[in-house]
Amino acid sequence: MTVLNLPDPGHPYVGSAPQTAYNQLDAGDFAGYGTEELFAVPLGSVILDLMVNTLEAWSASVTFTLGDGVDPDRYMDDTIFAPTATGTKGMKQDAQPGSGGGHHYVAADTIDIVMGGATPTAGTAEFYLQYIVRNYMHQ
């Protein structure tokens, strides 16, 4: 899996309209416990929504959270992610800080998935991000 870099402010595709980004990972992307970067977000990013669609259930005992370098479960904790079940879940179903109304990044960061519990032997998920990148040069 490769981290997806969101466009920087000033990129021709970045405007006031929300943008979307997509990434996918499967069990082979994890060599063991740890963190995988899903999206690199530039300064000024406003995350509006983050959803996960689990296509293939992850193996038993695997846990996941979705967050960033400051708060590893800012968008979704393991209970909402529910990695051993298939289906679509969204950050707005979670009570984590930043999940209901989104989050504004005042410094560049990454949106990460943190895996624990057990090394997965099966599982596939798609990640959908809706965001705006504010161009600070035009304030």
- Residues 3, 112 contacting (CB under 8 angstroms): no
Percentage of the chain exceeding pLDDT 70: 81
Alpha helices in the chain (DSSP H): 78-81
Half-sphere exposure of 91 (CA within 13 A, CB side): 25
| CA-wise closest residue to 113 among 91, 86, 85, 87 | 91
Answer yes or no: is 43 within a domain: yes
Answer yes or no: is 80 within a domain: yes
Answer yes or no: is 66 within a domain: yes
Name the least confident of 41-45, 61-65, 85-89, 133-137: 133-137
| CA-wise closest residue to 127 among 3, 8, 17 | 3
Structural domain for 72, as ranges: 31-134
pLDDT in tens, 109-130: 999 999 999 888 899 999 999 9
Answer yes or no: is 73 within a domain: yes
Answer yes or no: is 25 within a domain: no
Answer yes or no: is 14 within a domain: no
pLDDT in tens, 5-37: 766 655 545 556 788 899 999 998 887 778 899
Residue 138 or residue 11, greater confidence: 11
Residue 138: pLDDT band with limits 50, 70, 90: very low
* Count of the separate structural domains present in the chain: 1
